[in-house]
């Protein structure tokens, strides 16, 4: 069936089977492969995207459920050139190794910091506890997110 929604500010229309998840739709139909799929059962958080501003697991959402929604992926949180402050903070703190969980971490952290730019370390840990990382041990990820708060306090966009 056809489904229309907006991805990273652009309208899209896709013909999908009802059973297709939003994650697979983004990756394989729209070729936005920055959104990763690590478990397909809603545990690992790698597939986190923003739907109408809220961080959600795109493996637990059907593409047809996104009808009319505004979807933002890691690509939509990136600049053409260079890094956003949040991304630069991940790099500075060595908050990634293999990079597989990173898009989910970036989207989740962006949603958190957009809503709660004053969050403390405990809150960051609580929110990120829905995103699994096997490489870093999380210490550096929490530091990176805390360090990026200033960007969101200033202009609310993290740019």
Smallest distance from other proteins to CB 158, Å? 12
From the centroid of its chain, how far is CA 71? 10
2, 10, 11, 31: which one binds other proteins (CB under 8 A): 31
Q: Which of residues 96-125 bind other proteins (CB under 8 A)?
A: 96-103, 106, 108, 111-112, 121, 124-125
Q: Which of residues 128-147 bind other proteins (CB under 8 A)?
A: 128-142
Smallest distance from other proteins to CB 115, Å? 10
DSSP the chain: -EEEEEETTEEEEEE--TT-BHHHIIIIIS--TTS--S-SSSSS-TTEEEETTEEEEGGGSBGGGGTT-EEE-GGGGS-SSS--HHHHHHHHTT--SS-SSHHHHHHHHHHHHHH-TT--HHHHHHHHTTS--SSS-SHHHHHHHHHTHHHHHHHSS--
Smallest distance from other proteins to CB 150, Å? 18
| Contact code string over 58-97 relative to other proteins, x by CB under 8 A | -xxxx-xx-x-----xxx--x----x---x--xxx-x-xx
25, 36, 110, 151: which one binds other proteins (CB under 8 A): 36
Q: How far apart are CA 130 and CA 39, in angstroms?
A: 12
Smallest distance from other proteins to CB 153, Å? 20
35 binds other proteins (CB under 8 A): yes
7, 14, 25, 27: which one binds other proteins (CB under 8 A): 27
């Amino acid at each position: 069936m056809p489904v229309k929604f907006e991805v990273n500010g652009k309208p899209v229309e896709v013909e999908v089977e009802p059973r297709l998840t939003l994650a697979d739709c983004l990756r394989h139909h729209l070729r936005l492969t920055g959104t990763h799929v690590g478990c397909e059962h809603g545990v690992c958080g790698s597939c986190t995207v923003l739907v109408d501003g809220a961080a959600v697991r795109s493996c637990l959402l059907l593409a047809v459920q996104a009808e009319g929604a505004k979807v933002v992926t890691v690509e939509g949180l990136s600049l053409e050139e260079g890094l956003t402050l949040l991304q630069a903070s991940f790099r500075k703190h060595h908050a990634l190794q293999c990079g597989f969980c990173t898009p989910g971490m970036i989207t989740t952290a962006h949603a958190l910091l957009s809503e709660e730019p004053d969050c403390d370390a405990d809150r960051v840990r609580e929110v990120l506890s829905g995103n699994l990382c096997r490489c870093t041990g999380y210490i550096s990820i929490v530091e990176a997110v805390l360090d990026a708060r200033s960007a969101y306090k200033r202009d609310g966009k993290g740019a």
